[in-house]
Amino acid sequence: MTARVLIKDLAALPDGPVSVAGWVETVRDQKKVQFVVLRDESGAVQLVNPRTVDEDGTVVADEPATTISGLSQGSFVRATGELKHDERVKLGGIEIKLNTLEVETTAIAETPIAADSGIDKRMDWRFLDLREPKHNLIFRVQTTLEHAMRQYWVDNGFIEIHTPKLMASASESRAELFELPYFETTAYLAQSPQIFKQMAQAAGFGRVFEIGPAFRADPSFTSRHATEFTSVDTELSWIDSHEDVMKVHEDLLVAGFTAVKEKHGAEIEALFGVEVTVPTTPFPRIPLAEAKRIVAEQGYEVPRADDDMDPEGERRISAYVKETYGHEFVFLTDYASSIRPYYHMRHAEDPSLTKSYDLIFNGVEISTGAQREHRVEILEKQAVDKGLSVEELEDVLATFRYGIPPHGGFGMGLARVLMLMLHLANLRETTYLFRGPTRLTP
């Protein structure tokens, strides 16, 4: 049997016998000739079958004509035939004249979703939704982005770790924890790999990274929240400030965006109408207090009781940066200690501020990073200041009692990065199978 060829590789082959396989996208069953558009994971090709006609003009019911007449959209088939290059063929300038067509599985004729179906309906039938070339491209872009980031980490001496997602206690906030029975006790799904990344610093690993799942019991129904998401995490030792973390963060993103633009830029522009821009370094950096002053001067007062920025403020400061610096990214730095976790290091000259940042991309926060507090006595004090129990945190604090270098890191939402890179409105689009407050299937 002739080995299966991916459709994207057909154009480079000479005319001659080939074998392809995929699903039926369209069928045109005409009297004299039949056309099938076959799509696989790499592209689409036209299959052609001239009908056999008797001397009296009667169409003969032979194969593969009979099989083609019974084909339904979405059926998976194997086809063999003669590849022919013909510039008149609109679909790629090639076609395959059929010899055989074998149906592997037959699809139900009426599909449950259409091009204009709403996003919730599409998520119900995600495996069908992902057959669309545009949606398929998202996950090829994701693969390239992750590979390029991993290459950056490896080339720069980082160690990949895989941290547990079952925890005995909260990693950050009990308010957003999923809990589940665990034999004779209770376990929690990890909100982040934070403490485990820091353990690696105490272990002397120096620089670590992980791409893995994280869980937040957050009943949000916004376009940028999920209860399970893929977190991109980095932690590194021997830093002087959060500036060292930001430098790694921006270099990592430049590596990822460069690879995506080189491999998929033309296709992204064709299907999404978006030009991927590789960001220049350094990214703009604006202290949070200054960012709030800038948006206030533009007529927007952040309507929050705490010291944080809100989504509208993030959009406005991002627009300001785009206009002023021509940049899609901005680091908002020096967040108030009142709204940051106890383990964020505070400025020695002003303990009301932390050595931390949020990274805003096209108006949406995609990451939080910081220098961590590595001195256990200060950690204990800051935990108490936050109303936390030192006794309950002892398993965490033990990591710091046997020595740990100055360190810091960040966690970043993968789906958000892809959503904003492709200028999409909802991270459901860039999540393979989305999980939210009301969605546990498919």
Q: What is the pLDDT along the chain (442 residues), one digit of tens a residue?
A: 579 999 999 999 999 999 999 999 999 999 899 999 999 999 999 999 999 888 777 888 899 999 999 999 999 999 999 999 999 999 999 999 999 999 999 999 999 999 899 999 999 999 999 999 999 999 999 999 999 999 999 999 999 999 999 999 765 556 789 999 999 999 999 999 999 999 999 999 999 999 999 999 999 888 999 999 999 999 999 999 999 999 999 999 999 999 999 999 999 999 999 999 999 999 999 999 999 999 999 999 999 989 999 999 999 999 999 999 999 999 999 999 999 999 999 999 999 999 999 999 999 999 999 999 999 999 999 999 999 999 989 999 999 999 999 999 999 999 999 999 999 999 999 999 999 999 999 9
393 in a labelled binding site: no
365 is in an annotated binding site: yes
Query: What distances in angstroms separate CA 370 from CA 167, 352, 417, one per listed residue?
Result: 23, 15, 19
Q: Is 413 annotated as a binding residue?
A: yes
Predicted pLDDT of residue 173: 57
**Is 368 a known ligand-binding residue?**
yes
Domains along the chain? Answer: 7-105 (2.40.50.140), 122-430 (3.30.930.10)
User: Binding residue per annotation — 414?
Assistant: yes
End-to-end CA distance of the chain: 36
pLDDT at position 425 is: 95
**pTM of the full structure:** 0.95
175 CB neighbour count, 10 Å cutoff = 9
pLDDT at res. 336 = 97
Q: Could you tell me which residues come within 8 angstroms of residue 424 by beta carbon, excluding any fewer than 6 positions away? A: 272, 418, 430
| Residue 416 assigned as binding residue | yes
pLDDT of residue 176: 85
132 is in an annotated binding site: no
Q: Residue 1 has what pLDDT?
A: 57
C-alpha–C-alpha distance, residues 431 and 419, integer Å: 9
